[in-house]
Chains A and B, each alone.
Chain A
């Protein structure tokens, strides 16, 4: 991949209470490799609406995520968080609206596979790993490489690739279980394996759906550290209910309610917002 020259300014993300400023969000160090991110936004969602049999899951939603940003999405159940991820990853087509990855890639016209190959990784709410394969093989499959049929028929791991897998195995603390079938891992280990798979996939934008659900406090803390170290290099969008976790990691928090953005800002700002208190945090 060719690295495009990227701006190196280290602006603290400027913040608009209305939360719609497109160029307003900070620029991380690494812009997308090959991805056109001139304006510093890696993901642009404008006026997105999705309805299922009359129920509006997403309603004229606008969302911008900057390069290198770590964004948390919170919201009550049914606010449209998972549908939002489905739209970004191409699983659900929006009825209306635009979705851009970088400046040039129209997500509404791409298949799920194309979107994944373009550099959006996703971790599911329920950890999904390939249970019949070993931990090592799981990572091998996720590894960023040519994923066509022909390539896989002749594929051999290079030394560098093996090193990368080993490195990630260490990061996710599964180096001792590399030959165990993934189906035998504990829930928390599966969560980490899935995160590890995202790491070797090396996407520019990571979508993480409730990544710390079912983790112990120590694991949660470790995950928070991991995510913070990932930001700047990658852009992250984390859907999470655990406010403590959100507080530790988030630059920005977006509150979804009934399919649209209710508020955006730092955690304190959001928590102080009257309407947010009303619909979500409770009085």
Chain B
């Protein structure tokens, strides 16, 4: 009964999405206010019914309704309650339902926070979002119905993939999808502007906070995924250049370019066509990411070919969205006027360089991700493109962008004199170069990669300090600085901090695989690890061999770690659960490999010393906070007051 209710709610949501798409778009075209007014209630109604559908699915998971196929395949009666709830979006169907729920959430947010926008703009933006929603709800209903029944029901479920039973995975998909889908708002704004021909600074100002918030969510989602991989995969790595990771990283790169080019469009009226193109690109890449992860094309091109319904649907949808939006762009873009002029050395030029580099980096990731798939699909052999390729391309590409990141915020719009910039930045440059060179020498001898990382990180942080000093030189107060400024600096600082962490952990981590018997010890980075054997420990839905490893330094006992090797009851799947002692300056990380004798006394054990890895996560947290802070800037709300009197005056007259 409840699953049918959910199914029914999903169908009503589809009908509301159709209403939300067609009527307001038609109304905006004809200038019919009544039709335009349908946008808001339709979007809110759609959201309500999707909440209901999602709630029904969650309920089916919580009560272990194994007559629902989705539940039977992805849950288990012994699964702890919190994971039963998160299993709602652990499966393909459930995660697509989450996708449309997020989309409806964003549409509703637009409908609520758009009081200051012109009616036709709101109608078009919400209408375009309705069109996207139609595509995805239709996808759910035709190829991936999460409410399909299994008659007769299964006696018990097949359990959730044990790797997903972690709280990093509880929040990673919702955050990631908030970001992916958030770019739909930027996309809808771009399409609405193209249709109406009103591509001006006001358009950029409306679109900016939405794009920045979406970017912040996507950043959080990606980093949570990395954090999950670090703790849960037991390999101590946090980024593998895996196609699923690349799928989320590509829209991030395009989105990062977009938030910077939007700044130019808002402040200077320049880069309009380019900004629109980026908005279309960022969302298209979000769709491509959804296609890559959801069509099964990554696990096997051939599996995709034999069961093409899902993949073909998303691919077709992708073609419609990309083809349609580019056609509209080609038709409308030539009418756009170019904005203010600028010189080679100006903030515009720096931001342009930022955009070119970010897109080149995105292109390199795209190539490395799609090339093997293409070769395979064409029957030209199996190829893999691994981390060495991405590292070789990515680091040299991004280094100049990071260097410019130090200069850009300090450069004046339009024209910034090179001698002037040099004068303001020479000390920062000297200190950064000196630190970059000296720090690796004191740590472990000459190391060009570490030098580059330290140089960039110190450089960015010093230029941020200069930025604050110059802002305050004329007697300003810190609290009086606009939030957009704080947000930008915080996000830039977070990135610099993260780069410092990445540089340190990538160049100075130590790891060892060692065979350990009870009582054996090994020393790594000054820490002595003593293995005290394992004990059998039952979990809610698994059995674990729980190891005890005592860690000491200079003969003083510091702490005890308990890495586990689990066997999950339903699937029989083994899982490594690493034990980590976190600290501001380092992580001590221990994972159990496999038992090397039948009595379970001797194990292969992997120990890591990960210096400063937590700076990476903390830096990312600052980036996310910076994004939200920038989006909450008063300027975006002052614009409300600026437009309202104009409208009121018009009405009065």
Pair from one complex: no
Q: Name A's B-contacting residues (CB within 8 A).
A: none
Q: Name B's A-contacting residues (CB within 8 A).
A: none
